Amino acid sequence: MIQSMLTITRFPRSPFALVPLSKKDEVIYGADALIESISPLYIQFKRSFAYPNNSSSKIIRDRKRLKANYSPRTLFFELRNKQPKHTDYQHNVLFDLKTKLDTLGKGKAFYTAPLFLNRTAYLLAVHMSSLLSWRPWHWIFFDPFDAQTQNIVTSTGSIRFQNIPILKEHIVIPPHAKVTTHKHKYSYLETGKEICFHDPTILENQSTLGQTIYDFLRFRDGQPTTEMTNLSQSAPLLENLQNGLFSENQVMQNQSVISRWIEFGELLRKEFDIFQFMLIKLK
């Protein structure tokens, strides 16, 4: 659903698109002649689980110790264990991608997880929000999306990704440190606030997926504020990101640069379940 939300929507009045880039999605933009510049975005999708506030779990005990809120329930997700053939944990792979992109200022990498525990609860909230948004008494009730969230496209054609319900109802957590075991968890409230990492530590700067995408794509003078790299000159960036992670054989090195990016995205998805999206500017 999220992939469709990001890729179906084009940026009105501009030659930009945000698309998945791996072999699975190669048909979307297989011809590099169409692409002028790129900026990568790496997402690891997680599923939220929950403990009620009366639980005796370590997550609740940690939050009490940190004086973080844990009522009426705490959502969380776990890190993935390292596979036998992998040299590092998936968390560290995502952390390294984030660190390199942050240093260069040319992309993002993060976890995202829903703030609803199941699809039924999400669809009910969207339905109620739609009903309440046009009733004069909507302010009386608790509204999971305020009235302005239905206004997605502005008069200038720019898109308010932060107001799209499915994107708004996902928390974004960038990996903040390397780990030596997978036995860690991130926990948070259903509002997406008060994030804890269970070693335990309280983390700041929480955000939603919609706000993160909006910030990533924010336009200035018709151009995104995110720094983009000319596709023909992007090989060093690709080599930096895959250094120590995957080695390219001679056949891969002789391929076009877009084919190498596609291959890298495929390996990330297949080996670590990390999805490679790409902000592209078309010629």
Mean of the pLDDT values across residues 252-267? 87
3-state secondary structure the chain: CHHHHHHHCCCCCCCEEEEECCHHHCCCCCCHHHEEEEEEEEEEECCCEEEECCCCCHHHHHHHHCCCCCCCEEEEEECCCCCCCCCCCHHHHHHHHHHHHHHHCCCEEEEEEECCCCHHHHHHHHHHHHHHHCCCCHHHCCCCCCHHHHCCECCCCCECHHHCHHHHCEEEECCCCCCCCCCCEEEECCCCCCEEECCCEEECCCEEHHHHHHHHHCEECCEECCCCEEHHHCHHHHHHHHCCCCCCCHHHHCCCHHHHHHHHHHHHHHHHCCEEEEEEEEC
Q: Which of 221-230, 247-256, 258-267 has the least mean pLDDT?
A: 247-256
| C-beta separation of 231 from 258 below 8 A | yes
The burial class, CB within 10 Å (0-12 / 13-18 / 19+), for 125 is middle
Mean of the pLDDT values across residues 69-83? 94
Report the candidate in 85, 39, 10, 16 with the shortest Cα–Cα distance to residue 261.
39
Task: Round the average pLDDT of the chain to a whole number and report it.
Answer: 84
Asked if residue 178 has pLDDT above 50, the reply is: yes
pLDDT of residue 149: 45
Asked if residue 51 has pLDDT above 80, the reply is: yes
For the chain, give the percent of residues with pLDDT over 90: 51
pLDDT tens per residue across span 105-145:
899 999 999 998 887 877 777 777 666 655 555 455 544 44
Asked if residue 40 has pLDDT above 90, the reply is: yes
Asked if residue 147 has pLDDT above 50, the reply is: no
The burial class, CB within 10 Å (0-12 / 13-18 / 19+), for 156 is exposed
pLDDT of residue 43: 96
- Of 53 and 135, which is predicted with more confidence? 53
pLDDT of residue 14: 66
- Of 3 and 177, which is predicted with more confidence? 177
Task: Give residue 133's identity as a one-letter amino acid code.
Answer: S
